[in-house]
Each structure stands twice: as C-alpha cells, then as structure tokens.
Amino acid sequence: MSLPELYTRFVLIDRPTTFAGDNVYRKEVLPLSNLKPGPGQALVKTLWLSLDPAMRAWMDDRPNFLPPIQIGETVRSLGVGVVLELGPDCSFKVGDLIMGFIGLRDFGIIDEATTDVIRKESYHSHTEGVVPEDYLGPMGIPGLAAYFGLYDIAHLKAGQTLVVTAAAGATGSMVCQLGKQAGAKVVAIAGTDEKCAWLRDDLGCDVVLNYKSPTFQADFEKDVDRFDIFFDNVAGPVLNYMMTRLRPNSVIVLSGFISQMNKEKPEGLTNYVRMVGMRARMEAFIITDYRERWAEGREVIAKGLADGSLKRRFEVVEGLENVPRVYNRLFSGENKGKL
Ligand SMILES: NC(=O)c1ccc[n+]([C@@H]2O[C@H](COP(=O)([O-])OP(=O)(O)OC[C@H]3O[C@@H](n4cnc5c(N)ncnc54)[C@H](OP(=O)(O)O)[C@@H]3O)[C@@H](O)[C@H]2O)c1
C-alpha cells in the first residue's frame, strides 16, 4: 500500500460547556512520518470511526474511567483500522484488522494493550456473519455493555419485565434483543415513531413507548405498570419517573446518562426515596472493566449475528471532516443505530 505524506486529525481546542460545537475541534494536517509506533504500538490506517456519547464526557475536565482529553490532544475515539507498521515488541501482524482507540484521525498509533485484533480464528465460525464495523456496535462496547449489564449486573431471568431507554440505539437495541432471547417481557422506550416501529416490528419488543408523547406516563402505567429491571441509558426525568414504577427487589442498571451529558449541572432525582421500600438496587458499570471476559459475550453475540437472530443498524457518514457536524446526532436522536 502506498502511503500519503500527510494525515489528518481533529484535536480538542476548547472544553464544551453544553453541546460540542465546531469551536471545540481544530483540524490539523501533519506529516505521516510524525507517527512512529513505539514499543507495543502499531501504526494503523483508519477504516471506521465510532462516535460515542462517552467522547463528550472525556471532553470535560472531570474524573472519569479514562483521563480527560487534554487541550491540544487528538480527540479520543474508538475505531477499526488495519495495521501498517509495527513498533518493537508488538505482537500484531501487518494487515491485521484491529479495534482500538485510534482517535479522530485517518492514520493513528494504537497501543497493543488496549486494542483487539479482529481475526477470523478469534471468534470461530460465527465470524462469518460479522463485518468489521460490528466491532464498534454489537461486537464492541455497545453490544458488550448490553450483555454484561443484563447478565452480570441485573442477573436477568426469564419472565421478568425489562425496561430499556434509548432502546433503538446501538446499546439499547442489543439490550432489547438479548432480553427477548432470555424470555423477558421487553419494554422499549425511544424518541421517534420510526424507531418505535422498528423496535416493535423488527425486533419484536413487547411494549414500545415514545418518551416524547404527552401520554407517556399514562401509557406506561396502562401497558406495563411496574418493572423488575430498568436498563437505563438516559438518566434524567425518565429515570426519576421509573423510580416510581419499581417492583420489590428491582434493579436499575445505570448504563449511561445521555440526557444529562450536555448540561453543566445534571437534573436532580427526587423519587430515589422509593427505592428503600422496594428494596431496589441501582448499579452503574463500565464495560472496559469486563475486558478479560469480552470473548464470552462476543461468542453469544456473533452467533446471533451469524444466524440472523440479532439485528443491528448503522448510521454511516463518509469522511473524517464531517465528525464535528454529525457528532451531536447522538444527542438529537437523529442517528438510527450505531453512529
Ligand atoms: N456503561 C457503559 O460501559 C456503556 C457502554 C456503552 C454505552 N453506554 C451508554 O449507553 C447510552 C447509549 O449509547 P450508544 O452509543 O448506544 O448511543 P445510541 O443509543 O446509539 O444513540 C444515542 C441515543 O440516545 C437517545 N437520546 C439522546 N438524547 C436523549 C435525551 N435527552 N433523552 C432521551 N434519550 C436521548 C437518542 O435516541 P431517541 O431518538 O430514542 O431519543 C439517541 O439516538 C449512552 O448513555 C452511553 O453512555 C454505556
């Protein structure tokens, strides 16, 4: 492969206080020869980049499971790429497909320690039904968060009522489908009629509700009433409301807080007091903590992708330069599936 002389990256130049607009990024075009892999590193060419809600949290100067992105640094993002050159002691092979923290750039350096090789032999024959970009969706952070959130945090059992927010998104759609496969009654909550129709007609969710409807709470009380497990990707007012719909010993899996991410001050919860009488539990988790067990989740998910029992949608935008323009689709809900 003949390589260009220059590569492009987006660096963070300001910390957003609300939505990350154009003003927080700067595009830089630099000599590719600057990118030299060190020990345990590799030079990769980007094939796909993942736009994740977590990137917005990493732009804040607050403690998180990864350090804040520093001003002047490449904006951190996951991606799928192909290995071009190896640093000393890197066990990858030139030509390997990888999934790791490439950042918003068309060529990047990745660390072997935090990068997965996507090889056919890694995931058995099921890999037949899996495409590389799946490692940013169902086979990546969103799908694995669904799997471990449901099984390790919520201890999901057949017959339970499972409520899911941002249900048509990358994470939520996997939660819904894994929940159905496990025999739960799945209540999917999303923000557009199109997404609600997909959840009902294509994914087979039992109850589908639009949280933007003026009758949302009345509909919930009529069609669902109470739940055993609430897999919450959203937080804010819907979480506060769900705290009034607990069953005894119910579990709230706090996966994310997308409704609060662009706020300087998150909205407070008032109904948490109901958790005491219901002996309820709320537990947050970060999927990178399960890295040693990702293969277990991928085995199940790959099988579902291969036999068609698990479905996924992607919202694909061509061109690195479009990232600042399209990133906020995650927060407006314009993305239909993994962005
Ligand atoms: N804990 C973990 O390790 C972990 C791992 C992966 C993801 N997550 C979390 O999972 C959540 C979903 O992430 P994703 O990557 O799968 O994104 P996604 O669901 O594919 O896209 C985000 C969706 O969130 C919904 N949304 C945006 N703003 C909202 C608001 N104010 N109120 C309600 N819904 C809103 C929108 O759908 P509607 O049109 O339906 O509003 C939007 O399409 C995020 O909170 C993320 O941080 C956590």
Q: Which residues contact 180 (CB under 8 A, 6 or more apart)?
A: 186, 203, 204, 205
Q: How far apart are CA 226 and CA 304, in angstroms?
A: 29
Write out the chain in H/E/C secondary structure.
CCCCCEEEEEEECCCCCCCCCHHHEEEEEEEHHHCCCCCCEEEEEEEEECCCHHHHHHCCCCCCCCCCCCCCCECCCCEEEEEEEECCCCCCCCCCEEEECCCCECEEEEEHHHCEECCHHHHCHHHHHCCHHHHHCCCCHHHHHHHHHHHHHCCCCCCCEEEECCCCCHHHHHHHHHHHHCCCEEEEEECCHHHHHHHHHHCCCCEEEECCCCCHHHHHHHHCCCEEEEEECCCCHHHHHHCCCEEEEEEEEECCCHHHCCCCCCCCCCHHHHHHHCCCEEEECCHHHHHHHHHHHHHHHHHHHHHCCCCCCECCCCCHHHHHHHCCHHHHCCCCCEC
**What pLDDT tens digit does each residue of the chain (339 aa) get?**
789 999 999 999 999 999 999 999 999 999 999 999 999 999 999 999 999 999 999 999 999 999 999 999 999 999 999 999 999 999 999 999 999 999 999 999 999 999 999 875 565 545 778 999 999 999 999 999 999 999 999 999 999 999 999 999 999 999 999 999 999 999 999 999 999 999 999 999 999 999 999 999 999 999 999 999 999 999 999 999 999 999 999 999 999 999 999 998 999 999 999 999 999 999 999 999 999 999 999 999 999 999 999 999 999 999 999 999 999 999 999 999 999
Q: How far apart are CA 138 and CA 314, in angstroms?
A: 10
Establish whether residue 103 lines the binding site of ligand 1, counting it when its CB lies within 6 angstroms of any ligand atom: no
Please choose, from the candidates 147, 81, 141, the residue with its C-alpha nearest in 3D space to the C-alpha of residue 310: 147
Ligand 1: which atom is nearest the Cα of residue 145? 5
Establish whether residue 262 lines the binding site of ligand 1, counting it when its CB lies within 6 angstroms of any ligand atom: no
Where are the chain's structural domains? 6-135+319-332, 141-287
Among 171, 174, 336, the mutation site with the greatest number of ligand 1 atoms within 8 A of its Cβ is: 171
Q: Would you say 156 and 150 are in contact if contact means Cβ atoms under 8 Å apart?
A: yes
Whole-number pLDDT of residue 154 = 98
User: What fold characterizes domain 141-287?
Assistant: Rossmann fold (3.40.50)
Whole-number pLDDT of residue 123 = 55
Q: Compute the distance from residue 102 Cα to the ligand 1 centre, in Å.
A: 22
Whole-number pLDDT of residue 126 = 58
CATH code of 6-135+319-332, in short, is 3.90.180.10
Our CA angle for 314, 145, 252, nearest 5°, is 120
Among 233, 254, 283, the mutation site with the greatest number of ligand 1 atoms within 8 A of its Cβ is: 233
Establish whether residue 208 lines the binding site of ligand 1, counting it when its CB lies within 6 angstroms of any ligand atom: no
Establish whether residue 168 lines the binding site of ligand 1, counting it when its CB lies within 6 angstroms of any ligand atom: yes
Establish whether residue 132 lines the binding site of ligand 1, counting it when its CB lies within 6 angstroms of any ligand atom: no
Q: Would you say 77 and 103 are in contact if contact means Cβ atoms under 8 Å apart?
A: yes
Q: How far apart are CA 77 and CA 50, in angstroms?
A: 6
- Topology agreement, domain 6-135+319-332 and domain 141-287: no
Indicate the burial class of 120 (C-beta count within 10 angstroms; 0-12, 13-18, 19 or more). Answer: exposed
